[in-house]
Structure 1
């Protein structure tokens, strides 16, 4: 995996709740470490990835699922023929955590391959 930012070197930490979600300023600072295209809204970050065809889309979805499984932090994904929207939030705390940005950075690195 190519290095996008230092977030790709980090590993998600288990989150069982009981900690506050990131504040807006913290989230905006972490968002700057991601590739362009990520949007911050409603305590979530999301990005739409575009592909040439269905096969490439599904290959991306499967690779993203593998990353999510390995990090034990799973996004919501909306899949179409040649696009996939990836949306991260930490449900256990009702907002964003560093885990969301770690996984987003790893997805960015995947997309660059």
Structure 2
């Protein structure tokens, strides 16, 4: 499944205790569609972290993510430290793990315009090229 495939889907606020929980294998299969995200060791959440250009850029990103989350009815945990270090965590809280909806929202968050720190962006691209 590609990021475009995921973005074409919707959560529709359907997450609840009956939402199907993904297996570790299913999580591993979906991760390549959202390459900026990493799963925790237990495969119960995915996270994306970056350094924004400045405080204003970080808050603008959060505002756009809020719009995505509200439209989907699926809300990530947002963290801002050191005024521009951003982390986004996704999981389906009702099931204590990951569902396909987490990947749908992750793909939509990846489409949010983001002003990255130029230094972070250079280092990130170099790291990706080395992998």
Give the alignment's TM-score, normalised by structure 1. Answer: 0.88
What is the Cα deviation at residue 61 of structure 1? Answer: 0.4
Q: Which has the higher contact order (CA 8 A, sep 6+)?
A: 1
Unaligned runs of 5+ in 2: 116-131
- Cα distance change on mapping 1:111 and 1:4 into 2, 3 Å: farther
CA distance in 1, matches of 2:74, 2:19: 16
Deviation string 1:34-53 (CA, Å, 9 cap, x unpaired) is 1x331101300001032110
Classify the secondary structure of the residue corresponding to 2:60: helix
Please give the residue correspondences for 1:1-113 in structure 2 after superposition, counting only pairs within 5 Å: 4-13=3-12, 14-34=14-34, 36-41=35-40, 42=42, 43-80=44-81, 81-111=83-113
Runs of 4+ in 1 over 3 A off after TM superposition: none
Q: Choose 1 or 2 for highest CA Rg.
A: 2
Cα pair 1:4 1:109 within 8 Å, conserved: no
Deviation string 1:13-67 (CA, Å, 9 cap, x unpaired) is 4022134410011011111111x33110130000103211000000000000110
Classify the secondary structure of the residue corresponding to 2:86: strand
Give the alignment's TM-score, normalised by structure 2. Answer: 0.77
CA distance in 1, matches of 2:4, 2:114: 13
Match of 2:123 in 1: none
Count the aligned residue pairs.
110
Instruction: Provide the alpha-carbon RMSD of the alignment.
Output: 1.9
